[in-house]
């Protein structure tokens, strides 16, 4: 398990749940995103895109470009110099807001960073992406919207249906995910074979 944490003033590559928990606890701003991946190379690509997106959406000059390395081979933490340091947990141990979590096979929310780490450690959510929101309601909406976007990006609407109930949900797991993936792999294989035939015939 490898995780990327990206916020306005910090980027961290974590190789364990303990490292992730520490980064989230000491993060400089509440707003951040967590991406779970298989390898450092992919997460580095996500970090480049995510950092540039934050800069492009910034309406003042408070953000600067962090010098991301050319390659990442292990845990790494980078921080952009800033005077803004906000505690993620108050004196009573309570966390504000909630995490909206989407995956290829469902979505859910987490009420704290500890709960988020537990969900990631469980390994049930496939290619999980989590984002902090200031309210539980915003997290619920974002989790569902992001899951739906990822579903139709991966599958054609004419070929697959999400069977997502039209009701308020804080947790959803696609019971047909494994079957969908088998069909998708078969379709990709057919498309690859067709493309190869066309290339061999000089049609591509």
Residue 80 lies in a domain: yes
Instruction: Let me know if residue 196 belongs to a domain.
Output: no
Pick the more confident residue, 172 or 186. 172
pTM for this predicted structure: 0.85
The answer to whether the beta carbons of residues 129 and 110 sit under 8 Å apart is no
Which range (55-59, 124-128, 167-171) has the least confidence?
55-59
**Whole-number average pLDDT of the chain:** 87
Q: Is residue 166 part of a domain?
A: no
pLDDT greater than 80 at residue 63: no
Lowest mean pLDDT among 40-49, 81-90, 106-115, 160-169: 81-90
Q: Two tokens at 2? A: 């490898």
Residue 26 reports pLDDT greater than 90: no
Q: Which residue has the higher pLDDT, 18 or 204?
A: 18
Element (H, E) at 143: helix 136-154
pLDDT at position 191 is: 81
**Domain of residue 142, residue span:** 2-154
Residue 137: pLDDT above 60? Answer: yes
pLDDT above 70: residue 179: yes
Whether the pLDDT of residue 148 is over 80: the answer is yes
Distances 59 to 30, 34, 63, 81 between C-alpha atoms, Å: 19, 23, 9, 18
For residue 179, the SS3 value is helix
> Is residue 163 situated within a structural domain?
no
Distance between CA 150 and CA 195 in Å, rounded? 25
Domain contains 24: yes
Quote the percentage of the chain above a pLDDT of 90.
55
pLDDT at residue 91, as a whole number: 59
How many domains are there within the chain? 1
Instruction: Tell me, yes or no, whether 170 lies in a domain.
Output: no
What pLDDT score was predicted for residue 181? 93
Cβ contact 102:148 at 8 Å: no
Per-residue confidence (pLDDT) for residue 196, from 0 to 100: 81
């Amino acid at each position: 398990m490898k995780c990327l944490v990206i916020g306005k003033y910090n980027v961290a590559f974590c190789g364990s749940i303990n490292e992730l928990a520490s980064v989230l606890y000491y993060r400089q701003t509440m707003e951040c995103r967590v991406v779970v991946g298989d390898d450092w190379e992919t997460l580095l690509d996500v970090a480049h895109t995510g950092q540039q997106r934050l800069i492009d959406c910034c309406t003042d000059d408070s953000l600067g470009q962090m010098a991301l390395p050319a390659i990442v081979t292990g845990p790494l933490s980078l921080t952009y110099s800033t005077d803004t340091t906000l505690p993620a947990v108050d004196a009573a141990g309570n966390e504000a807001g909630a995490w909206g979590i989407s995956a290829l096979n469902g979505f859910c929310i987490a009420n704290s960073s500890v709960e988020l780490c537990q969900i990631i450690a469980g390994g049930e959510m496939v290619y999980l992406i989590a984002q902090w929101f200031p309210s539980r309601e915003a997290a619920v909406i974002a989790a569902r919207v992001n899951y739906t976007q990822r579903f139709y990006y991966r599958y054609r609407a004419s070929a697959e249906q999400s069977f997502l109930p039209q009701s308020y949900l804080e947790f959803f797991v696609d019971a047909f995910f494994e079957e969908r993936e088998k069909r998708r792999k078969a379709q990709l294989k057919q498309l690859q074979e067709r493309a190869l035939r066309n290339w061999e015939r000089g049609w591509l």
